[in-house]
Amino acid sequence: MTDDARPSLQERLRPLCAVLGGIGAVLSILAAFVAVEAFSMGGVFYTLEYHAGGWAGAVAFLMALVTIGGALVVRRSPALGSTLMYIGGCGGFLACGGIWLIPGTITLVAANLALWAITDPFKDGPAGART
């Protein structure tokens, strides 16, 4: 088998990023359901008021949807998927605090791996270079 027939590292990482991002997204949805019902989780948005289903629940669902979007597009565009998963993982942790620790960690690992899955834009030389 020649080296040309083997898929590159970037091509092999994309499905792994999608699976890890999907696991993080499912756990994010579950954490968002808990965020709607919890009274205080220590997130940034709980410094304003303490009641169930407030801003933290809405932001948690928004961040879970952003994470799902990142997991869906990471195979086609690793850069966009990584960006969306970073926003979802970090934003959910800021909104909910500790309950987002496991989903956020898995999502951020997938986002970091997605950065490695980006193909090299300078593989054929710098942009605009004439050969």
pTM of the complete model: 0.76
Q: How many CA atoms lie within 13 A of 27 on its CB side?
A: 20
Give me the half-sphere count of Cα atoms (radius 13 Å) on the Cβ side of residue 107.
33
Please write the tens of the pLDDT for every residue from 11-23: 888 889 899 999 9
Cα 101 to Cα 71: distance, rounded to the nearest angstrom? 18
Sign (positive/negative) of CA torsion 36, 102, 40, 67? negative
- Summarize pLDDT for 44-62 with one digit per residue, the tens: 555 555 555 567 778 888 9
User: Which carries the bigger pLDDT value, residue 21 or residue 10?
Assistant: 21
